[in-house]
Amino acid sequence: MSEYIVRFNVQQRIEHLVTMVVFALLCFTGLPQKFYTTGWAHVLVDVFGGIDNTRAIHRFCGVVLALSTVVHFAMALNTIVGKRTRLSMVPSKQDFTDAIGTLRYYLGVADKAPPFDRYDYRMKFEYWGLVAGNIIMVLTGFVLYFPTLAARVVPGEIIPAAKVAHSNEGLMAFLVITIWHIYNAHLNPDVFPFDTSIFTGKISRERMLHEHPLELARMEGKSLADLGHGHGHGHADAGKMG
Ligand code: HEM
């Protein structure tokens, strides 16, 4: 029987769910506007009840995404100022060392993958990529939403530029999430067929031992050696342990 550890609190699970649903709706209502000549675009627009509804849903979800980004940072700032969290998502020099260490392990040059803390370098990269992408999508989205207002504040050339940026960044965000994020959450051998931790909040102690040994050691007040980590347990064989 596996032991379970709480990895994500209720607030983090709700934030993920909201982002997931809103982002999916933004893709389903935004991309058919970009590829409006295709058959699938027409099917999707019909599903959402016509082009006026599709645009209205896109704008509504855009506002929700903007608000959720603001709320996320306000809450993060609050916990950081109140010293109720470690700065676990901030990139550090160790992340670069870990990235090189992992590459060496994948190439067979090193016999062990580096041990990670609460978030590994890939998770941090994905998180900050999403933050940067959200800021671009929200800023350019609002320029498209209120073009006459925007033209009063910034030069008018910004409007077609915002359209190109929004359109292409939107497609890229969709591809990054479907290819990269779905791989990490579903197809990666460590978690295949599906990583449920962000929905249930729970993760098995075995997975913590393999994927976040430094955090587990801190939680249990032990050293990596006490945990029995590092006897050739790399990421490649972690899937067999789950
Ligand atoms: C990350 C999520 C988002 C994705 C994937 C996305 C995607 C898209 C795409 C592909 C288009 C069509 C562009 C074209 O015609 O070439 C579009 C249009 C548009 N988007 Fe977004 N978008 C996102 C977020 C937002 C946000 C946050 C807002 C802000 C309210 C917004 C507001 C708009 C507006 C106003 C349009 C023009 C179409 C219209 O007038 O309804 N979008 N979006």
pLDDT at 7 over 70: yes
Q: How many domains does the chain have?
A: 1
How sure is the predictor about 229, in pLDDT bands with cuts at 50, 70 and 90? Answer: confident
Which amino acid, 47? Answer: V
Sign of torsion over alpha carbons 122, 123, 127, 130: positive
Asked if 239 and 189 touch (Cβ cutoff 8 Å), the reply is yes
Nearest CA to ligand 1 atom 39: 55
Pairing between strand 202-204 and 4-6? antiparallel
Please tell me if the CB atom of residue 48 comes closer than 6 angstroms to any atom of ligand 1: no
170 domain-assigned: no
Nearest CA to ligand 1 atom 15: 34
Query: Ligand 1: which of 34, 58, 134, 177 to mutate, most ligand atoms within 8 Å of CB?
Result: 58
Q: Which residues lie below 8 Å from residue 128, measured CB to CB, with a gap of 6+?
A: 89, 91
Please tell me if the CB atom of residue 150 comes closer than 6 angstroms to any atom of ligand 1: no
Of 196 and 241, the structure prediction assigns the larger pLDDT to 196
226 domain-assigned: no
Share the mean pLDDT of the chain: 93
Q: Tell me the pLDDT tens digit for each residue of 156-215.
A: 999 999 999 999 999 999 999 999 998 988 999 889 999 999 999 999 999 999 999 999
How much distance in Å is there from the Cα of 13 to the middle of ligand 1? 25
Mean pLDDT of 209-229: 94
44 domain-assigned: yes
153 domain-assigned: no
Sign of torsion over alpha carbons 45, 46, 47, 49: positive
Q: Tell me the pLDDT tens digit for each residue of 101-152.
A: 999 999 999 999 999 999 999 999 999 999 999 999 999 999 999 999 999 9
How sure is the predictor about 1, in pLDDT bands with cuts at 50, 70 and 90? Answer: low
201 domain-assigned: no
Please tell me if the CB atom of residue 114 comes closer than 6 angstroms to any atom of ligand 1: no
Mean pLDDT of 4-16: 97
CA gap 25, 57 in Å, rounded? 8
Closest CA to 171 of 44, 65, 31, 63: 31
17 domain-assigned: yes
pLDDT at 22 over 50: yes
pLDDT at 237 over 50: no
Provide the domain limits for residue 47: 8-85
97 domain-assigned: no
Q: Which residues lie below 8 Å from residue 106, measured CB to CB, with a gap of 6+?
A: none
pLDDT for 233 = 45
How sure is the predictor about 32, in pLDDT bands with cuts at 50, 70 and 90? Answer: very high
